[in-house]
A and B are shown apart, each in its own frame.
Chain A
Amino acid sequence: MLQVSLYRYNPETDEAPYMQDFSVDTGDRDLMVLDVLELIKADLDGSVTYRRSCREGVCGSDGLNMNGKNGLACITPLSESVKGGKLVIRPLPGLPVIRDLVVDMSLFYAQYEKVQPYLQNPTPAPAIERLQSPEERAQLDGLYECILCACCSTSCPSFWWNPDRFVGPAGLLQAYRFLADSRDTATEDRLAKLDDPFSVFRCHGIQNCVNVCPKGLNPTKAIGHIRTMLLNRAT
């Protein structure tokens, strides 16, 4: 039996959040954490609330904090997350909890919106598409794969303290994705909006984001590239 400790909070009935323990029969299989949550919801307590959708690490819905580390429940096996026979599951840290494991992602999305995550090019669009060389296209590798699960930003202390002003690793990865895009012409405007003491420069390079990214991306490296671009622009 696997001992699972689950963060519970229903703002309509609970005065404060609390941890609820469950014993889950996993049949000694190396299930994914999401499977364990499904077992709890199906067999033990139907009121347990969490987000999920694709259950294969593509949609980014089930970002959770499992034994202290953020990740996607659907692609995190018990063999990776269980410590000492126990699994502690909490919502992503730093964001307001709506209920149980569901957090309010408004601040996260507001920062994403701030970096204008779309191609900007006022020149008339060609008949078919804006072409890139293979080398130019390769610049976007490691950037476009982000699924916005928020595991990185919610593991970043700078984002915890200033979620309204620090763009956060996820937003900055996307900021660089468009700064690095040969088809985008808004580079100057994008950089001008990032040159304040908070948006980019609250990153102190501790690499929590790199440590937890379920897609293996490197926001710290992208932030370093943004800093270099800001430096080149200013000098």
Chain B
Amino acid sequence: MVTSVTSFSRTGLSDWLIQRVTSLVLLAYFIVIAYQLLGSVDYTSWRLLFDQTWMKVFTLMAALSLAAHSWIGLWSVFTDYLTERMLGPKGNVIRLFCQLGASLALVGYVIWVIVIIWS
């Protein structure tokens, strides 16, 4: 049986709210990036932009938001389609492997962003 133990916050309301708040953070971040891209972008200006502390913090917030948002979405997809009901007993094993793979990838991406931005 599918349980909630691997969900992000283990309550439906928190997951739902986190997904909405993170989507707003991502929207704001991508608007800022789009605004920058619409102007003239070269290595120097791009470097100067990401050298500023607010941009580093904003980028980290966006990376964390993307990870949380993706996990909640992927968790919904996995618990819809990769279940015992859909795939038989092997569904639970496949789901756990996919959840493990997705969580490792998301943690990896966040660490990667931190290394790029703060190193």
Residues of chain A at the chain B interface (Cβ within 8 Å):
157-158, 161-162, 164-165, 194-202, 227, 230-231, 234
B4 touching A198, Cβ below 8 Å:
yes
Complex Cα distance A161/B86, Å?
8
Q: Determine the chain B residues whose CB is within 8 A of the CB of A227 once the complex forms.
A: 13, 16
A161 touching B81, Cβ below 8 Å:
yes
A165 touching B2, Cβ below 8 Å:
yes
> How many B residues, CB 8 Å from partner?
19
B17 touching A198, Cβ below 8 Å:
no
Complex Cα distance A164/B15, Å?
20
B81 touching A201, Cβ below 8 Å:
no
A201 touching B12, Cβ below 8 Å:
yes
Instruction: Give which listed residue, B2, B10, B13, B15, contacts A162 with CB less than 8 A.
Output: B2
A and B contact pairs by CB, cutoff 8 A, 6 listed: A162-B80, A198-B12, A199-B12, A201-B12, A201-B16, A231-B17
Q: Determine the chain B residues whose CB is within 8 A of the CB of A201 once the complex forms.
A: 12-13, 15-16
Check: B11 CB closer than 8 A to any chain A CB: yes
Residues of B4-21 contacting chain A, CB below 8 A? 4, 7, 10-13, 15-17
Complex Cα distance A234/B18, Å?
13
Q: A197 with B12: in contact, given A161-B85, A164-B1, A231-B17 (CB under 8 Å)?
A: yes
Q: Determine the chain B residues whose CB is within 8 A of the CB of A197 once the complex forms.
A: 4, 7, 10-12, 15, 75
A161 touching B11, Cβ below 8 Å:
no
Check: B22 CB closer than 8 A to any chain A CB: no
Q: Determine the chain A residues whose CB is within 8 A of the CB of B81 once the complex forms.
A: 161
A158 touching B15, Cβ below 8 Å:
no
Q: Determine the chain B residues whose CB is within 8 A of the CB of A199 once the complex forms.
A: 12
Query: Closest CB-CB distance, B27 to chain A, in whole Å?
Result: 18
B81 (CB) vs chain A CBs: closest residue = A161
Check: B83 CB closer than 8 A to any chain A CB: yes
Q: Determine the chain A residues whose CB is within 8 A of the CB of B92 once the complex forms.
A: none
Instruction: Give which listed residue, A157, A158, A196, contacts B12 with CB less than 8 A.
Output: A196
Q: Determine the chain A residues whose CB is within 8 A of the CB of B7 once the complex forms.
A: 197
Complex Cα distance A200/B85, Å?
20
Complex Cα distance A53/B31, Å?
58
Query: Closest CB-CB distance, B46 to chain A, in whole Å?
Result: 37
Complex Cα distance A199/B12, Å?
8
Q: Determine the chain B residues whose CB is within 8 A of the CB of A200 once the complex forms.
A: 12
Check: B65 CB closer than 8 A to any chain A CB: no
Q: Determine the chain B residues whose CB is within 8 A of the CB of A231 once the complex forms.
A: 13, 17
Q: Determine the chain A residues whose CB is within 8 A of the CB of B11 once the complex forms.
A: 195-197
B7 (CB) vs chain A CBs: closest residue = A197
Contact with A along B33-72 (1 / 0, CB 8 A): 0000000000000000000000000000000000000000
Complex Cα distance A165/B11, Å?
14
